């Protein structure tokens, strides 16, 4: 009898995409689900490198016991030497991923034979997952972690490529049309220029690009598509179009954040010294600068940014890895030691929540933008790759809570202009007001009766009833 009851308890297979910052928010969602559905067990499949980061101390202390990590191969042959091109490792992994995951799953399912596979929860980039779910007769739940607008761009890949081909034929060698041609015929993307669209939408030999091009054909298949976003922040045309394409669309909020935001800790508990330093600055006076863990401006742009900060006299807190710090102008750190602080890492969400922060200079990674929005901080955006340009366009033209740096790259004059615009100009005050309004919308949506909580409950019911 015990065996029968045990087999009725669910076993959910979770497949992670081990690059960028994808696996972390997926695990955050799974942790929330595991706490809400304690009788369900979750097997988390990911590469050893990524799992080691996610499940090591002290992070592992908050992970429920009904989640167990399993390592799968990264696909890189034993004697292969990577060139350093970030897409190379992604392509190698995706080429082998269907078989890599299948092999890992077969072993785990055999080990946990007393439990039936009740569903698959997978990263949105793993488009082959539906076939694995089908082999178990199990529902498939896809999690889309980037902005919803980027999902729409991938859904309409064929149409966007057609528009580009027609414009290229009409304009010849002149490609200025990319900066001006808007995608007005695509629901929700009417403010996007062709130049904003991720490179991965356009034809390429890359396996990654070819994988994403299948999204429009594959994503109507899942039982549910889960968005790392709040429905209230979507435009009506976008949300209506996406809902028409999926069987169930759920918005569970920003997975990289725990909302409502907790009060800042005592400043002396911050070992980086950032909060204590911020305590000494005036309210709304500091420029916080960070480009995440992957993006790095080229040396000439780092120099331009540093020179602009020094000339402006504006207090700044700059999170900059030590190996990049050496590219700053000679003597910059010493000359500005009373004006600013350069650290190898900063507790970003706590920094953005400090009263002295006046703006955020960011690479437009969606998690960084979400943290800025949740804290009501306007942004200066320097997009680098992937969905950064679309995110920057949203910040500037849709939400009105920041600007894309002039010309898309850092120049001394462009940085000085943007700093003055946000910190001293009337337009900057309007951006700050809009940022505060969005903060209130996000806080309400994340509240006990908010839409994100309701959609999460729907997701819990879905995995619990299967």
Helix (H, G, I), strand (E, B) or coil at 31: helix
Q: Measured between alpha carbons, how far is 454 from 466 in angstroms, rounded to an integer? A: 19
**At CB < 8 A and 24+ separation, what contacts does 102-109 make?**
102/132, 103/72, 104/45, 104/70, 104/71, 104/72, 105/13, 105/43, 105/45, 105/132, 108/13, 108/43, 108/45, 108/70, 109/11
Q: Measured between alpha carbons, how far is 306 from 333 in angstroms, rounded to an integer? A: 9
CA 252 to chain centre: 14
Q: What's the CA dihedral at 196, 439, 353, 286 to 10 degrees?
A: 60
Answer yes or no: 22 catalytic: yes
**459: burial class by Cβ within 10 Å (0-12, 13-18, 19+)?**
buried
Q: What is the crossing angle of helices 129-136 and 86-111, to 10°?
A: 10
Q: What is the crossing angle of helices 426-445 and 412-424, to 10°?
A: 70
Catalytic site residue from 22, 154, 251, 354:
22
Helix (H, G, I), strand (E, B) or coil at 356: coil
Answer yes or no: 123 catalytic: yes
Q: Measured between alpha carbons, how far is 118 from 102 in angstroms, rounded to an integer? A: 16
Q: What residues contact residue 167 under an 8 Å CB cut-off, 6+ apart?
A: 177, 178, 181, 194
Q: Measured between alpha carbons, how far is 378 from 69 in angstroms, rounded to an integer? A: 38
**Is residue 341 within a helix (H) or strand (E), and if so which, with residue range?**
strand 340-343
Beta sheet of 402-404, edge-to-edge order: 340-343, 316-319, 286-290, 357-362, 379-381, 402-404
Catalytic site residue from 11, 74, 91, 123:
123
Q: Measured between alpha carbons, how far is 88 from 91 in angstroms, rounded to an integer? A: 5
Task: List residues with catalytic annotation.
Answer: 22, 123
């Amino acid at each position: 009898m015990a065996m029968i009851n045990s087999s009725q308890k669910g076993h959910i297979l979770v497949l992670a995409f081990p690059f960028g910052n994808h696996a972390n928010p997926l695990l955050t969602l799974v942790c929330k689900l595991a706490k809400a559905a304690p009788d369900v067990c979750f097997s988390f499949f990911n590469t050893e490198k990524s799992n080691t980061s996610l499940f090591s101390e002290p992070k592992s202390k908050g992970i429920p016991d009904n989640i167990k990590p399993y390592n799968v191969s990264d696909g890189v042959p034993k004697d292969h030497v990577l060139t350093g091109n970030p897409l190379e490792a992604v392509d190698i992994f995706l080429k082998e991923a269907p078989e890599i995951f299948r092999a890992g799953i077969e072993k785990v399912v055999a080990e946990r034979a007393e439990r039936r596979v009740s569903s698959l929860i997978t990263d949105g980039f793993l488009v082959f997952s539906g076939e694995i779910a089908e082999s178990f007769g199990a529902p498939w739940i896809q999690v889309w972690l980037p902005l919803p607008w980027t999902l729409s761009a991938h859904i309409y890949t064929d149409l966007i490529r057609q528009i580009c081909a027609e414009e290229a034929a009409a304009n010849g060698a002149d490609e200025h049309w990319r900066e001006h041609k808007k995608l007005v015929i695509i629901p929700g993307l009417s403010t996007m220029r062709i130049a904003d669209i991720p490179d991965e939408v356009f034809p390429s030999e890359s396996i990654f690009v070819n994988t994403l091009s299948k999204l429009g054909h594959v994503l109507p298949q899942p039982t549910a598509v889960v968005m790392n976003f709040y429905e209230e922040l979507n435009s009506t045309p976008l949300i209506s179009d996406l809902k028409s394409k999926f069987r169930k669309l759920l918005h569970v909020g920003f997975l990289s954040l725990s909302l409502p935001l907790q009060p800042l800790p005592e400043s002396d508990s911050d070992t980086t010294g950032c909060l204590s330093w911020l305590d000494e600055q005036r309210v709304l006076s500091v420029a916080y600068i960070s480009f995440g863990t992957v993006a790095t401006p080229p040396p000439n742009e780092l120099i331009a940014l540093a020179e602009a900060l020094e000339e402006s006299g504006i207090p700044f807190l700059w999170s900059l890895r030590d190996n990049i710090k050496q590219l700053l102008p000679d003597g910059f750190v010493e000359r500005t030691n009373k004006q600013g602080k350069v650290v190898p890492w900063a507790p970003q969400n706590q920094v953005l929540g400090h009263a002295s922060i006046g703006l955020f200079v960011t690479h437009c990674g969606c998690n960084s933008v979400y943290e800025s929005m949740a804290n009501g901080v306007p942004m200066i955006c320097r997009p680098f790759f992937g969905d950064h340009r679309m995110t920057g366009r949203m910040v500037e033209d849709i939400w009105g809570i920041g600007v894309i740096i002039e010309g898309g790259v850092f120049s001394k004059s462009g940085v000085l202009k943007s700093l003055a615009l946000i910190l001293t100009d009337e337009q900057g005050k309007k951006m700050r007001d809009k940022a505060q309004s969005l903060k209130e919308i996000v806080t309400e949506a994340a509240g006990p009766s908010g839409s994100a909580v309701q959609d999460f409950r729907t997701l819990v019911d879905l995995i619990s009833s299967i």
